[in-house]
Structure 1
Amino acid sequence: MERSIPYEQRRNANLPFGYWCTADPDGYPHLVDETGTRWASLRDYIWCGRLGMHRGSDWQFEQQTELLLAVLAAIDRRTIYIEEKVTDLFCGSWNVAHHYGSWLAGHELSGGLAGSLTPEGHAILVALASTRSAGSAPIPVGLPTIAPWRGLDRGETRDECERIFKVNEAFAARLPGRFLREQIGDGPGIKLVGEPEGANIPLARVLWTMEFADDHARDRLFAWLIHRLDRWEAWTTIARRDGAQALTEHFLHLRFADEPIERA
């Protein structure tokens, strides 16, 4: 009966999922829900208690809860077409993506991959983002994004774009890899800079670069990247593991996903 009542009428949707649990410092597992059931962590409560999933090994549990976090963040942060989500999050597998979207909709966490998060889905997103391991990058929940534009903006939106760029750039300073707007040679460009490396004098490593004809062209790609800030950690891994060309090819796959075929 309780599930028939909307989450936002049963809970405070402005707080992370599980805020009603209590901690027992004298026992382990130490997280106690309303029924008195004990859980090893908030993520265990979400994955096994709320979603009824098997925990599996520590590696499997971490992998699956991180995938859930990535999908919820992708749905929450931006509105993009479905093919890009399938390509970037599910390695191009439409069957897996469709099943995952149906699973989310069945649990009333979102309207599938193409819909929006429900209040409960957003509460779970905040809870998962708040419980990442110490070595993981933060997730940009609630950061502003930029309304897409086409062609020259003639300065009409530049001030607002710069304001949002700076908010996101300040957040990205805490990431293990971040895209920066910098001069490359004599022209504007974007660099992907990884974490500092080296034992004696750690130096940041440039993992990927791209040059542009003018500031507007550069900022148009940077705005595209800002909309996908939650994916920077994964893209940094691609560049570090497979090289700059692999990341460029991945961007091409994403950028032309859902693009219609032009007919004469």
Structure 2
Amino acid sequence: MQANSRLVSLVEACEQRSPQHILKTAFEQFPNELWLSFSGADDIVLVDMAWKINPQVKVFTIDTGRLHSQTYQFLEQVRNHYSLQLEVLCPDGDELKRFTSQKGLFSFYQDGHSECCSIRKIAPLRKKLAQADAWITGQRKDQSPSTRNFLPEVEVDNSFSSQEKTLYKFNPLANMTSEDVWNYIRALELPYNPLHSKGYSSIGCEPCTRPILPNQHEREGRWWWEQAEQKECGLHAADIIARD
């Protein structure tokens, strides 16, 4: 089946459907190299839904080397809670050493987070997704109205597809709100990152994440020194551009 016709078929199967239905479709259509990305934040909802459908779900997380200690502890808690084979992706040591030797540990406060994220997050993710046929993310429309407002339930991944292979990306939580997510977490008494109880709504690397104030949008705690339209690490940047 050609890539574009397959996408049409997937969209028809997933559009305006429940997260669980979208996950079932993903598992059925990509039984082998399908991976779920877990950040160690409120996408625990995605892990729980997927695990209940397929306990053998393949899950990875990216260890940038700059996460909060609470996030590392939470990742281990989730691994044990679901008996997951959680694969941890790490940046290339030599590339990271060159970068920090030249620019230090906090250059992103002056020249933006793009280069640091590229080394610590994008490069290891690209290497991992080169082996995948499709992946599942916890993106939601309400996380960043300026960049994710038109987030589809399934799409071709324009960031990580290659000429040789089309990579598909599922966003089962696209139409869930933060309130929906937390109602799910509380109703099922899921484990969650303790930083959420300290005002952290969107959790990333420790130097780039801070608690938000009342009435602030959740993404305002990420890369707070940059403009709203820049508050993406690059994992989904090409797809955002393609939707505009």
TM interval, shorter chain, is under 0.3
- Greater RCO, CA 8 A, separation 6+: 2
TM, length-normalised to structure 1: 0.25
Bigger radius of gyration: 1
TM, length-normalised to structure 2: 0.26
